[in-house]
Amino acid sequence: MAAKGTKLRKTAKKAPKRAAQKASKKATARAPKSKKQLVLVATRKGAWLFHGDAARKTWRSDGPHFLGHVIHHLVLDPRDGRTLLAAASTGHLGPTIFRSTDMGKSWKEATRPPAFKKVENLPEGKKARSVHHTFWLTPAHGNEPNVWYAGTSPQGLFRSEDGGVTWTEFFDLASDPQYRAWLGGEQEGTPDGPSMHSVIVDPRDPAHLYFAMSSGGVHETRDGGRHWKPLVDGMEVVAGFDASNLTFHDPHCVRMSPSNPDRLYQQNHCGIYRLDRPATKWKRIGKAMPKAIGDVGFGIVVHPRDDARAWVLPMDGQTVWPRTSVEGKPAVYGTQDGGKSWMRLDAGLPKGEAWWTVKRQAFAGDNSNPVGLYFGTTSGELWASPSEGRSWDLIARHLPEIYAVETATIG
């Protein structure tokens, strides 16, 4: 089990102490009172809910839900604190969405799950797209109760206005010649298929949205989806490819700072980035990571009350892309200064021979003070840190391959 105590190892440029103290004070000042913590775990064979006490020390497992179903994402609506949506498929059956309003005691299936429009008279040799699975779920703006967005594989963006019961395509990417070209084919996608993810709603403006595509880049609308434009300036692509072609852009995960909606963080196939709007050029902040670790990974978490703090989980991105913890020694890296410096946070994690992979949706933070961090591995381990990464404990092991981890606080 996890080692006790705190271990912070500086590995990059020294963070200014005063700034860190100031950040800590700022983060503490606005922290909500601790409530009971819920960790929602989606796996390749079902879903689990882990109920924590207020101190986040003991956890009660509730599951499996949908045993045998592939659950790609499981999200609790923070606006009502009771609606759970689960994006599901199985090895045999087509994709669907399940909905619960009693914390998973009962589930109802969407009557119209995300599906592309039927294409008639397709040219010879062309194959119309069909939704393989819903990959990502995002509750919409606080002033739009019951509105949700869903990102699918292959890339599609859908919207529900009835709490997830019926879904319609929100942005018909395939009908836009430019976007259709950027979507690429199946070979441009991830091993699990090309995906739409990181659907982000600006809390100040429900018409201001972002999404990201693997592959296909990061995109933004400011008019509620009528017009979209790419936001990839400064983002690198694999050496030898043309960065002006969005097909080659692979943002793994984009997060908006909850305390500053003008600040975006991104974990990309080619590094860690930050963007401070209204600027449009991403800055590669992963350059400050230790060279031996690199800045490849999948998930990224931003502090709920301090826009200078974020955490990543580096993966081995050498040669054939093992996508495992670097040298079999898993570690989270945290920044307190917007990515100028990074600290290794591995107390309690295995010191070696732990060849983990953590998917882009499987790394999450809560809103407590101190912030709790959680990640799930493809080998079925669920880890938690109630201390912003300073120490880690195992919540569960022997789960199926973990696809996604989300958090929620419940009263």
Residue numbers at the binding site for other proteins (CB under 8 A): 90-94, 96, 109-111, 113, 115-119, 128-131
What one-letter code names the amino acid at 80?
D
Which residue lies nearer to other proteins by CB, 47 or 270? 47
State the minimum distance, in angstroms, from the CB of residue 263 to other proteins. 38
CB of 148 to other proteins, least distance (A): 18
**Which residues share a beta bridge with 154?**
none
Residue 240, token pair as written in the block: 């030898």
Task: Tell me how far, at minimum, the Cβ of 158 lies from other proteins, in Å.
Answer: 12
For other proteins, give the closer residue by CB, 86 or 332: 86
Backbone φ and ψ of 131, nearest 5° = -70, 120
Q: How many CB atoms lie within 10 A of CB 75?
A: 22
In degrees rounded to 5, what are phi and psi of residue 17?
-60, -45
Give me the least distance between CB of 203 and other proteins, in Å please: 33
Q: Which is nearer to other proteins, 62 or 401 (CB)?
A: 401
CB of 131 to other proteins, least distance (A): 7
- Shortest Å, Cβ 128 to other proteins: 4
* CA atoms of 36 and 99, how far apart (whole Å): 22
CB closer to other proteins, 110 vs 209? 110
CA distance 185 to 309: 36
How would you classify residue 177: left for phi > 0, otherwise alpha for psi between -120 and 50, otherwise beta? alpha
Sheet with 36-43, edge to edge strand ranges: 59-65, 46-52, 36-43, 402-410
Report how far Cα 48 is from the mean position of its chain's Cα atoms: 18
| Cβ-based nearer residue to other proteins, 34 or 100 | 100
Q: Which is nearer to other proteins, 130 or 259 (CB)?
A: 130
- Least distance (Å) from other proteins to the CB of residue 323? 20
Residue whose CB is less far from other proteins, 98 or 392 = 98
Tell me how far apart the alpha carbons of residues 221 and 17 are, in angstroms, rounded to a whole number.
Answer: 38
Beta carbon of residue 133, minimum distance to other proteins (angstroms, whole number): 12
**Nearest partner of 236 among 245, 249, 220, judged by Cα:** 249
DSSP string covering 275-335, please? EETT----EEGGGGS-TTT-S-EEEEEE-SS-TT-EEEEE---STT---SSGGG---EEEE
